[in-house]
Amino acid sequence: MREIKLTQGRDIELIKDLVRRFQVTDRSLEKKVEEILEDVKKRGDEALLAYTREFDCPSFTLEQLKVEEEAIEAAITNCEAEFVETLKLAAKNIRAFHEKQLPKSWFITREDGTIMGQMVRAVGSAGLYCPGGKGGTTPLVSTVLMNAIPAKIAGVERLAMVTPPDEKGGISPYLMVAAKIAGVDEIYKVGSAWAIAALAYGSDSIDPVDVIVGPGNIFVTLAKKLVSGLVGIDMIAGPSEVLIIADSSANPELIAADLLSQAEHDPMAMCCLVTTDESLLASVKSCLEEQLRDLPRKEICRESLKSNGVLILVHDLIEAAWVSNEIAPEHLELYVEEPWELLTQIKNAGAIFLGANTPESVGDYIAGPNHVLPTMGTARFSSALSVDTFLKRSSVISYSRSALLKDGPHVARLARAEGLEAHARSVLKRIE
């Protein structure tokens, strides 16, 4: 892991590559993703089949693309009762949290009788990306709930979920059970950038959607970025990130465990410790080595720590907050004696976890807030997936006769100042 000592105070040069991590993403990846999108736009299902065979399942056929209702029913019948209980508990907490986000339409009436307001409506359809891991080996079941529950609360009529198939062309039955609990309407076994293309442009088998949400690896993330504008997207929810601010009260074993919990997502995951205590750095390093030994995904963790793991020493917690605000991490843990006090210094982070009893994992699965979060520094300007992601607001305006008589001349004056005579006449014809 890289070590940085900010002994001379706020030296932005020393953390520049972390702050600009999105800009330094390999441009050739974006080019590759562009080609995939173009190919799916042109060839539709044929391209989906070719990429799926090349990357996920060599024997895949188009008949396997859509998950049949019978397969979903079988998954539900065969699923362990305890697992269903856990999913239902997570769903309940996620629903309770997101229901609070639902905004209302509103209208105001002026004295002259004009009515104005904002009408909130859900998008018609949403595409939900659920990561499957290489070859569908590690599906993120919890992400099904995080994607679908806010969409349902918003009132989206059609939820189409995509996830990569495994080597045999199947998907985890847990994904199907979660999809059923969350109210997903269609499930397609297709992943990566080509799945995003299918949701954006449509293909013979998959109708296009209005909004695409959900996290994914760098290919999924770049694809979402590129189709954004044609469809809505939630945000740049790429490879996971955690930044932990710790003081001398923190337990190095738990810091190491929390860093590894994100490192295991992806070789591109970013794990960062910012501390005021130099001795903690050494302890965390040895705890990482110790814990890595028997982790099933230790190779992914090692790669992530090697390429994107950083230990930063700072003078005080105010400086730690500055570092974190510059990096704008997806997840921020405040593992310090007075986390609520430190919270007042935090400006940019997707989700913030306070104190020794709040490992980031509780947010991944059960607490209730959404785990689909902005990465690569985009927490500077974007937020967690929410009910809002699936809503649009239309302005509503209704003029009375007396209001038009009063405002009409002003409209005409402004329109003529802009050289737009037709605008002026459309009002004047009504009041003259």
Ligand X SMILES: NC(=O)c1ccc[n+]([C@@H]2O[C@H](COP(=O)([O-])OP(=O)(O)OC[C@H]3O[C@@H](n4cnc5c(N)ncnc54)[C@H](O)[C@@H]3O)[C@@H](O)[C@H]2O)c1
Q: Annotated binding site, which residues?
A: 240, 262, 265, 331, 364, 418, 423
Contact 138, 165 (CB under 8 A): no
Contact 136, 375 (CB under 8 A): no
- Per DSSP, 214 falls in state -
Is residue 364 a contact point for Zn ion (CB under 5 A)? yes
Answer for which of 6, 37, 126, 140 binds ligand HSO (CB under 6 A) is 140
Point out which residues bind ligand X (CB under 6 A). 55-56, 131-134, 138, 140, 143, 164, 191-193, 215-217, 219-220, 237-240, 265-266, 269, 330, 371-373, 375
Considering the complex, state which of residue 114 and residue 138 has its C-beta at the smaller distance from ligand X: 138
How many Å is the Cα radius of gyration of the chain? 25
408: partner contacted, choices ligand X, Zn ion, ligand HSO, none (Cβ within 5-8 A by kind): none
**Could you tell me how many residues of this chain bind ligand HSO (CB under 6 A)?**
8
Token representation of residue 167: 């080597």
Which phi and psi angles does 353 have, rounded to 5°?
A: -120, 125
Residue 359 backbone zone (phi > 0: left; psi -120 to 50: alpha; other: beta):
beta
Considering the complex, state which of residue 64 and residue 217 has its C-beta at the smaller distance from ligand X: 217
Across 227-377, the runs of DSSP E, i.e. the strands, are: 232-233, 241-246, 270-275, 309-313, 331-335, 351-354
Considering the complex, state which of residue 203 and residue 276 has its C-beta at the smaller distance from ligand X: 203
The Cα 8–Cα 244 span in angstroms is: 21
Burial zone of 385 (CB within 10 Å; 0-12 exposed, 13-18 middle, 19+ buried): buried
Say what the alpha-carbon torsion angle 388, 391, 397, 398 is, to the nearest 10 degrees: -120
Part in contact with Zn ion (CB under 5 A); list of ranges 84-92, 148-156, 319-327, 356-364: 356-364
Other CB atoms within 10 A of residue 240 CB: 25
Is residue 266 a contact point for ligand HSO (CB under 6 A)? no
Considering the complex, state which of residue 216 and residue 252 has its C-beta at the smaller distance from ligand X: 216
138: partner contacted, choices ligand X, Zn ion, ligand HSO, none (Cβ within 5-8 A by kind): ligand X
133: partner contacted, choices ligand HSO, Zn ion, ligand X, none (Cβ within 5-8 A by kind): ligand X
Closest separation in Å from C-beta 267 to Zn ion: 15
Is 341 part of the annotated catalytic residue set? no
Other CB atoms within 10 A of residue 85 CB: 10
At residue 126, the 3 state secondary structure works out as strand
Answer for which of 52, 125, 142, 370 binds ligand HSO (CB under 6 A) is 142
In this structure, the strands spanning 125-129 and 158-163 are: parallel
Token representation of residue 188: 């397609």
Is residue 364 a contact point for ligand HSO (CB under 6 A)? yes
Q: Looking at 186, 264, 330, 360, which residue is catalytic? A: 330
142: partner contacted, choices ligand X, Zn ion, ligand HSO, none (Cβ within 5-8 A by kind): ligand HSO
Is residue 330 a contact point for ligand HSO (CB under 6 A)? yes
Which phi and psi angles does 252 have, rounded to 5°?
A: -60, -30
Answer for which of 97, 200, 371, 412 binds ligand HSO (CB under 6 A) is 371
Closest separation in Å from C-beta 77 to ligand X: 27
- Among positions 246-265, residues that touch ligand HSO (CB under 6 A) are 262
Token representation of residue 102: 């639902």
Closest separation in Å from C-beta 259 to Zn ion: 12
Considering the complex, state which of residue 169 and residue 374 has its C-beta at the smaller distance from ligand HSO: 374
Part in contact with ligand HSO (CB under 6 A); list of ranges 93-101, 135-143, 152-160, 243-251: 135-143
At residue 162, the 3 state secondary structure works out as strand
Token representation of residue 292: 């890595």
Is 371 part of the annotated catalytic residue set? no
Amino acid at 97: F
- Per DSSP, 183 falls in state T
Closest separation in Å from C-beta 95 to ligand HSO: 18
Q: Active-site residue numbers?
A: 330-331
List residues near ligand HSO by CB under 6 A: 140, 142-143, 240, 262, 330, 364, 371
